[in-house]
Structure 1
Amino acid sequence: MTVNSAPQTYKLRRGRITPGQRLALGTLADRFAVPEGDGPLDLGALFGADVPVVLEIGFGMGGTTLEMAEADQGTGLIAADVHTPGVGALLRGLHERELENVRVLNGDGGALLRQRIPSGSLAGIRVYFPDPWPKARHHKRRLVDAEFAALVADRLAPGGRLHCATDWEHYAEQMVAVLSAEPGLELEHGGPVERPAWRPVTKYEARGVARGHAVADIFAVRA
């Protein structure tokens, strides 16, 4: 279930794995895992022919992922995160809700996008509250940069949509700048918008709002 990544755009978080999460990792990983290998993923074989597929890069503890997957079971979802307790929690939630439209990667979703997602194959990409790397000397580690925008433009199918969300104003400005500059993408709405009703509030987002952070949702579509 692991894909190696470079450069690293995230900080590994420490967290205690609960007995339930550990059990899920041991018994459910194979059932819901993204198939291992080095070659391009066969998304049709993974989810079924003509099923639209969305990649979510970073899902935290998986609560939002579960809600959105349950609300749209006609869409296949690849959910990737490096936080092992969160992976265990998501696996357990998928089993409890009897959801079969999600495959989980315990690893770097950015690396998966670069290495194993075929060109023009995705209906959507979700990047909700990626590590903001707030210090100026660390901005180069941010996931959403010009290189990422070009990669997204290549991996999305025509009409496919990138949806980003952040509660860091400077990062939102960076997202708008790089997505606007990418010729393969069209920035929607002219810039950030308020959270759409269909996107659940994440726990990370709620903490940011409690600290007075303004949340920005940003959309770009493959031309």
Structure 2
Amino acid sequence: MKYAVIVFPGSNCDVDMYHAIKDALGEEVEYVSHTEKDLSEYDAILLPGGFSYGDYLRSGAIARFANAMSGVMKAAEEGKPVLGVCNGFQVLLESGLLPGAMKRNRDLKFICRPVNLKVENHETMFTSEYEKGEVITIPIAHGEGNYECNDKTLKELEENNQIVFRYHGENPNGSRGDVAGIINERGNVLGMMPHPERAVDEILGHTDGLKLFQSILKNWRESHVCTS
């Protein structure tokens, strides 16, 4: 399986994502510039955290217009797994691939520490290696992670089982419905504020993020066995 890590001006978690795939998962991965339009050679697209274009206007608002996003949109339409983490999640929201928007944290402070998440939906290509209701520990590092949506959207997310992760025990940023990660209706685009790529090895203090990447790989392999 071949992964693309999209690198925007201001990305700073691209290296973390790259090594999570290469070293922890043992799969092929490449950095791909924001100027590249054609992503057809990749099986999965990863949008890392950071401060794309300095987070001017809004987080992810300028990155949404980068050349690479046309390739990301096409990959999503084709059913390929697309994962946006932190700033990557913000880019997915700005691009319309996921519903809702992101505001500044409730206390208007940058937060950087491990938090507990509850796996609300374990029947996705990103979470099949988890148990339903499993509580995992994943780091967060953001200043604008306060997820917001209207009542109608929140109801639809809940009814369609699109809320994949919720903050458990405490809500660190004021995110509506304790939302930490959501998926599109088709189930192949996941956005989340916590950083699973920073929880893939014991040396990092936590390994709960590795199951997310293992889930992607397992589901990709199974789908290709079935279609080959």
Please indicate the TM-score interval, normalised by the length of the shorter structure: 0.3 to 0.5
Q: By percentage of residues, which structure has more strand?
A: 2
Q: Which has the higher helix share?
A: 1
TM-score normalised by structure 1 residue count: 0.37
Q: What is the TM-score when the length of structure 2 is the normalising length?
A: 0.37
